[in-house]
Amino acid sequence: MSVDVATTKRPPSRLLMLAVRVRRANMFLVLLFALLVGLSVGAIMIIVTTPTLLNSWGSFFSHPGGTISENFNTLWFAYEQIFEGSLVNFHALRVVIDHPSQANLAVVLGPISLTLQYATPLIVAALGLAIGFRSNLFDIGGQGQVIAGGLLAGLIGFSLHLNPLLQISLELVGAMVAGALLASVAGVLKAYTGAHEVIVTMMCNYIMVLFMGYLLITNLYARPGVKDGASKAVTPSGQLPFFFSHLSPNLLVNYGFVIALAMVFVVQWFFNRSKTGFELLMVGQNGEAARTAGINAKRTTIITLCLAGAFCGLAGMLELTGVDHFLSPNFGGSYGFDAITVALLGRNKPWGVFFGAIFFGAMYAGGEAMQAFTPTNIQYSLAQVIQAVVVFCVATPALIIEIFRLTDNERFRASGAAGGWAK
């Protein structure tokens, strides 16, 4: 029995050990706290910008309960709308359980489908940027490259009437080439003149927006008889088919999501297994050593940016042929920055990017629901504020670690020099 006593005499620190382990910073904890901080900042923004809530604080000392409950109810309702608008609507869920029918199922699936639809191009674009980030190249020209991809895919899309498979493949290749070509400008300049890619790609964004603005009023692109800057529509054979169109025309998830998923695997292979992917990593970690080991850093820089551009171009094609089917002057909108932030959120790992993009998609879908359903019409851009704060916390985990007194973990030390401008 003495043996049993010895074994049952557990170290008293078991619970403590658990607590210590829980406090160790890991991705999950950091994300959780980041979300908490994000929602808190969002809450402050709502309170500050909603007059009724702001006024309620005037009576805080006389009726603290009333103030708190009023504020809490508004916030809760807003965040509930975000959740229900992006994932699942509980009311609809009850309805479909009570009355199972295709139409009701479609209503339940609506929010998720919207989320995935928003997420699809983001996944691809952010994967592309993650390739660059791993090599310490900050391609912030996502917007321009998305536009480039969209422009060429659109041209192929509305001027051809081919077999759908062939036409979609053509669009896909065209978009990737267009995006890569645009990004290669930054790559070549970076490699041969040392021009910093952040500035070059940013400038390319503005140039592409203007260029698209020009194209959309030319006969080549403009929809005949319309002067609002909308382009011709992609022919049906060039559109990505929807998955669940038989359920409801509102379910907008299309085969683009499959392409995006495939790209996650491709990038994962690229990072882990391919020679070029490894070289990219090397150049990013220690460019000098890469050069000494016979890796052509210039070539790698150009390839990296081209790949990033190709993915962004593909995102443009997915957006165009999957959702809108025509170009408008604000096509590509905030992709540049969203893709960067998603890549940062996913810490440049393919699956991290995947879920990061879905989180962003959810915030968009939910944000729209919130704007539509809250009494004061809280603007959907609140979702972007929350996103930005979350990304901020994830990009600098040291902050979260310090605020929430987590134990430090080497892995989460933010890394690296930003590098100068000229080289």
Partner 1 sequence: MSTTAPLNVPEIVTLENLRRISRQRALGYGITLMIIGVLEVLWFGGANSSLETTLELGYNSATVMPSIAAGLRVVALLVGLVLLAPVASGRVRALVASRLRFTTGLRGLLAIVGGYLVVWPLALWGGVNHSGALRTMTIPVWTTGYVLGALSIAAGALLAWRRFDRSASPLLLTGMMLFILGFLVWVARGSNVSGLQLQITGILAAAVSAATFLIFGSLSGTLCERSGVVNIAIEGQFMTGAISSVMIVSAMNGSGISKLLGVLVAGLLGALLGWVLAIMSLRYQANQIIVGIVIVAFCTAVTQFLMFQVLDTHENLNGAYALPVWAIPFLSHVPIVGPVLFDQNVLVYVAILGVIIANVALFRTRWGLRVRSVGEKPIASETVGVSVLQMRYSAVILGGFIAGVGGAAFTIGPGTNFTFGMTSGYGYIALAIMIFGRWRPYGALMASLLFGFTIALSANLNIYLSQLVIPQQFISMLPYFITIAAVAGLVGRIRPPAADGVPFSRE
Partner 2 sequence: MRLELRAITKRFGSLAANNDVSLVVEPGQIHCLLGENGAGKSTLMNVLYGMITPDSGQILINDQVVTIRDPKDAVAQGIGMVHQHFMLIPVFSVADNIILGSEPLKPWPFIDHRSATERIVALADEYNFDIDPSATIENLPIGQQQRVEILKALSHNAEILILDEPTAVLTPQEADALMVVMRSLKDQGKSIIFITHKLKEVLEIADVITVMRLGEVVGTTTPEESDEAALATMMVGRDVSLVVDKPPAQVGEVVLDVKNLFVQDDRGLTAVKGVSFEVRAGEILAFAGVQGNGQTELVEALTGMRAVMAGTMELNGKNLVGSSVRDVLDAGVGHVPEDRQRHGLVLSLSIADNLVLDQLGSPEYKAWWGRKLKAIEENGKARIAEYDIRAQDESEPLSALSGGNQQKVVMARELSRELKVLICAQPTRGLDVGSIEFMHRQIVAIRDEGVAVVIVSSELDEVVALGDRVAVLFDGMIQDIVAPTTSREDLGLLMAGSRPALNSEPRS
| 26 contacts: CB under 8 Å, gap ≥ 6 | 409, 412
As measured in angstroms, the least distance from the Cβ of 272 to partner 2 is: 8
For the chain, the residue count is 423
The distance of closest approach from Cβ of residue 286 to partner 2 in the complex, given in angstroms and rounded to an integer, is 5
Instruction: Return the residue of 60, 76, 269, 421 that touches partner 2, per CB under 8 A.
Output: 269
Q: Tokens in use for 362?
A: 């959810």
Of 27, 199, 261, 323, the one binding partner 1 (CB under 8 A) is 199
Phi, psi of 24 (to 5 degrees): -60, 130
Establish if 278 lies at the interface with partner 2 (CB under 8 A).
yes
Long-range residue pairs from 97-106, CB within 8 A, at least 24 positions apart, any chain = 102/247, 102/248, 103/248, 105/247, 106/244, 106/247, 106/248, 106/250, 106/251
Residues 30, 352 contacting (CB under 8 angstroms): no
Q: Which of 35, 39, 95, 198 binds partner 1 (CB under 8 A)?
A: 198
Residue 107 CA to its chain's centroid (Å)? 25
Which one of 110-118, 151-159, 173-181, 409-417 is the stretch in contact with partner 1 (CB under 8 A)? 409-417
Q: Which does 140 bind (CB under 5 to 8 A by kind): partner 2, partner 1, none?
A: partner 1
b/e per residue, 376-413, with b = 16+ CB within 10 A?
eebbbebbbbbbebbbbbbeebebbbeeeebeebeebe
Window contacting partner 1 (CB under 8 A); options: 109-117, 175-183, 206-214, 319-327: 206-214
Nearer to partner 1, 91 or 411 (CB): 411
CB of 341 to partner 1, least distance (A): 5
What x/- string results for residues 109 through 148 when contact with partner 1 is judged by CB under 8 A?
A: -----------------------------x-x--------
| 409 belongs to the binding site for partner 2 (CB under 8 A) | no
Q: Would you count residue 328 as binding partner 1 (CB under 8 A)?
A: no
* Distance of closest approach, residue 311 Cβ to partner 2, in angstroms: 19
Task: Give the CA angle between residues 359, 50, 70 to the nearest 5°.
Answer: 90
How is residue 300 annotated by DSSP? H
Q: Name the burial class of residue 11, with classes exposed (0-12), middle (13-18) and buried (19+) by CB atoms within 10 angstroms of its CB.
A: exposed
- When CB distances are held under 5 to 8 angstroms depending on the partner's kind, the choice from partner 2, partner 1, none that residue 45 binds is partner 1
Evaluate whether 153 touches 174 at the Cβ level (below 8 Å): yes
Using CB under 8 A as the binding rule, the residues of this chain from 290 to 329 that contact partner 2 are 290-296
72 binds, among partner 1, partner 2, none (CB under 5 to 8 A by kind): none
List the structure tokens of 174. 């065209």
Judged by CB, which is closer to partner 1: 63, or 413?
A: 413
Which of residues 112 and 315 has its CB atom nearest to partner 1 in the complex?
315
Q: Spell out the residues 6+ positions from residue 277 whose beta carbon is closer than 8 angstroms to its own.
A: 270, 271
x/- map, 38-57, partner 1, by CB under 8 A:
-------x---x--------
With tokens 């009333």, the residue in question is 66
CA distance 303 to 291: 15
Question: Is 289 among the residues that bind partner 2 (CB under 8 A)?
Answer: yes
Which CB atom, from 268 or from 376, has the smaller least distance to partner 2?
268
Q: How many residues bind partner 1 (CB under 8 A)?
A: 54
SS3 217: coil
* Amino acid symbol at 138: F
Query: Which of 35, 89, 16 shows the shortest CA–CA distance to 345?
Result: 35
124: exposed, middle or buried (Cβ count in 10 Å: 0-12, 13-18, 19+) = buried
Q: What angle do CA 178, 183, 186 make, to 5 degrees?
A: 150
Kindly write out the interface string for residues 371-400 of this chain, putting x where it contacts partner 1 by CB under 8 A and - elsewhere: -------xx-xx-xx-xxx-xx--xx-xx-
**Around Cβ 349, how many Cβ atoms within 10 Å?**
18
CA–CA gap between residue 5 and residue 341 (Å, rounded): 55
- Which of partner 2, partner 1, none is residue 286 near (CB under 5 to 8 Å by kind)? partner 2
CA atoms within 13 A on the CB side of 222: 13
Tell which one of 285, 328, 334, 409 touches partner 2 (CB under 8 A): 285
Nearest distance in Å: CB 278, partner 2 = 6
**Which amino acid, 123?**
I
User: Binding of partner 2 at residue 368 (CB under 8 A)?
Assistant: no
- In the complex, the residues that contact partner 2 under the rule CB under 8 A are 269, 272-275, 278-279, 281-282, 285-286, 288-296
- In the complex, the residues that contact partner 1 under the rule CB under 8 A are 45, 49, 138, 140, 185, 189, 193-196, 198-200, 202-207, 210-211, 213-214, 334, 337, 340-341, 344, 378-379, 381-382, 384-385, 387-389, 391-392, 395-396, 398-399, 402, 413-422
